Amino acid sequence: MPLNRQIIITHYRHVLDVPLADRKALSSDAIASTEEMPRTPNLMNSTPTPPPDEELVEEDSGLITMLWSLSVSSFAIGGMIASFFGGWLGDQLGRIKAMLIANILSLAGALLMGFSKMGPSHILIISGRAVSGLYCGLISGLVPMYIGEIAPTTLRGAIGALHQLAIVTGILISQIVGLDFILGNRELWHILLGLSAVPAVLQSLLLFFCPESPRYLYIKLDEENKAKKSLKRLRGGVDVTKDIAEMRKERSEASSEQKVSIIQLFTNSSYRQPILVSLMLHMAQQFSGINGIFYYSTSIFQTAGLSQPVYATIGVGAINTVFTALSVFLVEKAGRRSLFLIGMSGMFVCAVFMSVGLVLLNKFAWMSYVSMVAIFLFVSFFEIGPGPIPWFMVAEFFSQGPRPAALAIAAFSNWTCNFIVALCFPYIAEFCGPYVFFLFAGVVLAFTLFTYFKVPETKGKSFEEIAAEFRKRGGSARPRKAATEMKFLGAAETA
């Protein structure tokens, strides 16, 4: 569930007994302030009182900002840590049991946040968010892995994209439930945070009716009979001979190719350039400024002059959902590299207009509409390309042997960049003011140029063809050892 910035910051001030002067100084969000914030308190009565020590006020202000940043970024810390262990846990316990174990973390995080009003709120919220991040780090790998292994070959890409659509739909629902007249108010905000347990409980109940992954049973455990039973449950009694033959071939290919460690991805020249490109794609996704909008969109709309910015934030969530649905079709039809470049180019233009609108807002009131339109288009371009595509491309860069390690380090990179943005954005926004998205525009432009010159197209190509593209771009003549056609590669395998 998204955190309500103003309500929770106000509660933090109350719990920590922050001086009134600091409360006034923080009453406007850092990124919403286009004027110099007052540094002296209002008089409470007719008797003059000396101003508080300014260093103490500044220190308290920094403490509140730090606690809020940790409340947001602790989620990414948990995801960053757990991202390495999703595949391992799935192999050790099986996909179903691993997801059930992961849901325990979700329940624990929800309980910590749900009862945060009854204790030291800042500690419980930060801890609850971190535990919930551990859950998401595991489940973000386990769920797509399971979907990819149970889906028919012809539907893997579409179903994998639908998983992403379900995520953004959940975000939109949580934004609506978080409205102040529903649960996003001073009395019920802790219940809003605790509601994150609901989907975990629902999933846990439904998992008891789900068959184990037939690919896990056959390829990992060599349980062919159990795999056949699982497939028959999934296919509804349809002949599964073809599926078993496909898994037999996949098992043979996997056994003939050695697994590659994370260190070998960087030391082996065959994998070094693909893994570096993979990391750059995920960095581009997170450092594009999209999380600055998602985390602080309400404040941005308030700066743009809206009296009810929360509804515009819900509009961003709706646009996010609509264009994620559109990407389900675009990713299957167009090239990955082309869509990524289109998305990044559009985001660059939108970031420039967004900042121009914020900078000139005091001179021209209509500039608020420029900023708002730019935000909506920014999110649209993100979901067309940079949002889903890095996961597709990383999986397509690597064959069966190095793919698990490559996906693990890519996921770790993604969560790490997410953490950095969440932790640093308030300070960057406070320093840069309305110019902050000029900074992101420069970053997006740099990553766009990198993509144009260094990232190959992968749609419909074999691993050997992709490896040849990397050698061509990197000036290397050394071929890869394994050349496996991407016949059965699907989007959902990119978890």
Non-local (6+) Cβ contacts of 263 within 8 A are: none
pLDDT digits (tens, 9 = 90+) for 262-271: 888 888 888 8
Percent helix, percent strand, percent coil in the chain, to nearest 5: 75, 0, 25
- pLDDT of 331 > 90? The answer is no
- pLDDT of 482 > 50? The answer is no
Q: Round to whole Å and give the CA distance between 424 and 49.
A: 36
Domain 67-210: which CATH class? mainly alpha
**Which sequence spans correspond to the domains of the chain?**
67-210, 218-256, 264-474
- Over range 445-460, report the average pLDDT: 87
Name which of 151-155, 198-202, 284-288, 341-345 the model is least confident about.
151-155
Element (H, E) at 269: helix 269-287
- pLDDT of 217 > 60? The answer is yes
Q: What is the dihedral of CA 208, 211, 216, 222, to 10 degrees?
A: 110
**Contacts made by residues 451-457, CB under 8 angstroms, sequence distance 24+:** 451/281, 451/284, 451/337, 451/340, 451/341, 451/344, 452/341, 454/277, 454/280, 455/277, 455/281, 455/337, 455/340, 455/393, 456/337, 457/335, 457/336, 457/337, 457/338
Name which of 224-238, 278-292, 469-483 the model is least confident about.
469-483
Q: Round to whole Å and give the CA distance between 153 and 147.
A: 11
Q: Round to whole Å and give the CA distance between 257 and 463.
A: 13
Q: Round to whole Å and give the CA distance between 18 and 70.
A: 18
- pLDDT of 40 > 50? The answer is no
Non-local (6+) Cβ contacts of 278 within 8 A are: 390, 393, 394, 397, 406, 409, 410, 413
Q: Is 420 helix (H, G, I), strand (E, B) or coil?
A: helix
pLDDT at 258: 67
Cα atoms found within 13 Å of the Cα of residue 209, Cβ hemisphere only: 4
In this structure, how many other beta carbons lie within 10 angstroms of the beta carbon of residue 398?
A: 25
pLDDT digits (tens, 9 = 90+) for 69-119: 788 878 988 998 998 888 788 888 988 999 999 999 999 999 999 998 888
pLDDT band of 441, cuts 50, 70, 90: very high
**Contacts made by residues 119-128, CB under 8 angstroms, sequence distance 24+:** 120/15, 121/8, 121/11, 121/12, 121/15, 122/12, 122/15, 122/16, 122/67, 122/71, 125/3, 125/8, 125/71, 125/193, 126/67, 126/70, 126/71, 126/74, 127/74, 128/193
pLDDT at 299: 66
Q: Round to whole Å and give the CA distance between 202 and 199.
A: 5
pLDDT digits (tens, 9 = 90+) for 349-381: 999 998 888 888 778 877 878 888 888 899 999
pLDDT at 96: 94
Name which of 59-68, 333-342, 365-374, 443-452 the model is least confident about.
59-68
Q: Model pTM?
A: 0.74
476 vs 411, residue with greater confidence: 411
- Over range 404-428, report the average pLDDT: 82
Q: Where are the alpha helices (DSSP H) in 115-240?
A: 121-150, 156-177, 189-194, 197-207, 214-215, 224-235
pLDDT at 157: 59
The percent of residues in the chain predicted with pLDDT above 70, rounded, is: 79
Q: Round to whole Å and give the CA distance between 64 and 66.
A: 5
The answer to whether 157 and 491 are in contact (CB under 8 A) is: yes
Name which of 16-20, 46-50, 159-163 the model is least confident about.
46-50
CATH match of 264-474 with 1.20.1250.20: yes
Name which of 144-148, 380-384, 451-455 the model is least confident about.
144-148
- pLDDT of 280 > 90? The answer is yes
pLDDT band of 127, cuts 50, 70, 90: very high
Q: Where are the alpha helices (DSSP H) in 211-268?
A: 214-215, 224-235, 241-256, 262-267
- Over range 321-341, report the average pLDDT: 82
Nearest Cα residue to 458 out of 387, 384, 383, 391: 391
Element (H, E) at 414: helix 403-432
Q: What is the DSSP letter of 258?
A: -
pLDDT at 31: 37
Q: Round to whole Å and give the CA distance between 268 and 270.
A: 5
The percent of residues in the chain predicted with pLDDT above 90, rounded, is: 20
> Are both 67-210 and 264-474 of the same fold?
yes
